[in-house]
Amino acid sequence: MRLHIYLLFILLIFITSCTGCKNRNERLNGSDTKEKTENQTPEKKASKIPVERKIGKAIFYLENSGSMFGYVSGFTEYVDVVSELAEKPRFAEEKTSREFYFINGGQNIKVTNIGSNPTSLKDKLNENGFNCGDVSKSNLNSMFQLALSRAKNDTISILISDAIYDIGKPQAPMNALSTEGRETRSRFIERLNEGDLQTIIIKLNSQFDGKYFPVTGGSVNLSQNRPYYIWIFGATELLNQYFTDEYIKSLKGFTDIARFLKLSELEVPYQAIAHKKIGDFKFDKNDKNKLVNVKPDRNGQGFYYSIAVNFSDLPFSETYLTSISNYTCNNSNFSIRNVSSIGDVKLYGLNFEPTHIIKVGTDRSPHCQLEISLLNKVPNWIENTNSDDESNIIKDTTHTFGFKFLTNAISEAYQYKNKESNIITFKFELIK
């Protein structure tokens, strides 16, 4: 009996010991598993690298009213550009979904689906292919409304037209154009209320062999170059990636470009630097854009310092960014002396990668709260393109009747939503 009790006691000790070892191993293995989880290779962990946005769909609307037939009389620059956009290399590479439509008509706008194959579109870029829908009329505001409504999320829309309002034969054409312009402004404000939207306007020139229809009635046979326009609508990030100035300027017959966007979406890092300074100053320990012990040059050369900026998120051309006429200072003592790309200049101590250097200075007292702004200016070409007179349409290769009413409507819509005229403002404090 005692032997049995002794053996049972030994057996209990053995079981307890095994259970403890198992629990200890589980604890050790669990800790090891946790450590392995925390130290997973990058391939196994969820990537924190932001995924580049891509265009999911590109929708093309081509006005095909009677006034557009002259652009497809032969292999013109217009035909070449439409073909290029439809077969844009990046669209082909990424197999971007595309839809093509002709659009015309009056109050009851006519939309003709051409399909999703660029080859089908190119086969229609001729007078026979254009002859569908209601070619006798065009309602530009309805075209805008449709194109704007489709440009959301990862979808962009492209509208191609001669940009001439169809106002019939009114006794007061300027009044009619003004009314059309206000409706255009409303369409854009409504869309801007829904979120981010960039609008690119491209002016191009193409051979035109066909009929031009003056607002006073009748028609004029033209065989010459005429301007036409492309509007691209979409998210700012997408349009900046896919439609750079370099690509747009490569289009055959390119003349000018303008971009309109919501300024609240922009971020421009900047910092004061001592590059090529004249005079003397020190950086505040806590704020590099606060300059202390500011002193003009002792030999009377004034006070100058530089600003390193990163303009990479701005979709504006290099010409626009480096033109000193596009900048302003809140203190009349100061002026912008030069804006240049970073080039081979090496700068240290910045927490961003600069793209440009702005040199600013004064020959007077430098002590102030200084604000330097990059202005949001409507390009001069837009005003210069407008014409209020069609009597000299023969040999006129640059002007579009009533263009100011259309473009003013778009710029006013963006100005209304932006609430200010500056793209970005750099702020500095200069203290004795």
The mean pLDDT of 120-148, rounded to a whole number, is 95
Q: How many CB atoms lie within 10 A of CB 8?
A: 10
Q: How confident is the model at residue 215 (pLDDT cuts 50, 70, 90)?
A: confident
Which tens digit of pLDDT belongs to each residue from 260-276?
Answer: 998 876 789 999 999 99
Listing DSSP states for 364-393 in one string gives: S---EEEEEEEE-PPPHHHHHHEES--TT-
Residues 6+ apart with CB under 8 A from 321: 311, 314, 339, 356, 374
Give Cα 152 distance to the centre of its chain: 14
Which tens digit of pLDDT belongs to each residue from 26-55?
Answer: 443 444 433 333 344 444 334 445 578 999
> Residue 135: is its pLDDT beyond 60?
yes
Which tens digit of pLDDT belongs to each residue from 59-77?
Answer: 999 999 999 999 999 999 9
Which tens digit of pLDDT belongs to each residue from 171-211?
Answer: 788 888 999 999 999 999 999 999 999 999 999 999 999 99
**Helical H runs in 305-432?**
318-322, 380-385, 403-418
User: pTM for this one?
Assistant: 0.82
pLDDT of residue 247: 96
pLDDT of residue 265: 66
pLDDT of residue 421: 76
* Alpha carbons 383 and 387: distance in angstroms, whole number: 9
Q: How confident is the model at residue 419 (pLDDT cuts 50, 70, 90)?
A: confident
pLDDT of residue 107: 87
Written as one letter, the residue type at 203 is K
pLDDT of residue 40: 41
Which tens digit of pLDDT belongs to each residue from 217-231?
Answer: 899 999 999 999 999
Cα-based distances in Å from 23 to 15, 17, 26, 42? 12, 10, 5, 31
Percent of the chain exceeding pLDDT 90 equals 78
pLDDT of residue 11: 52
Indicate the domain borders of the chain.
57-261, 270-377+422-430
The mean pLDDT of 345-353, rounded to a whole number, is 93
pLDDT of residue 362: 97
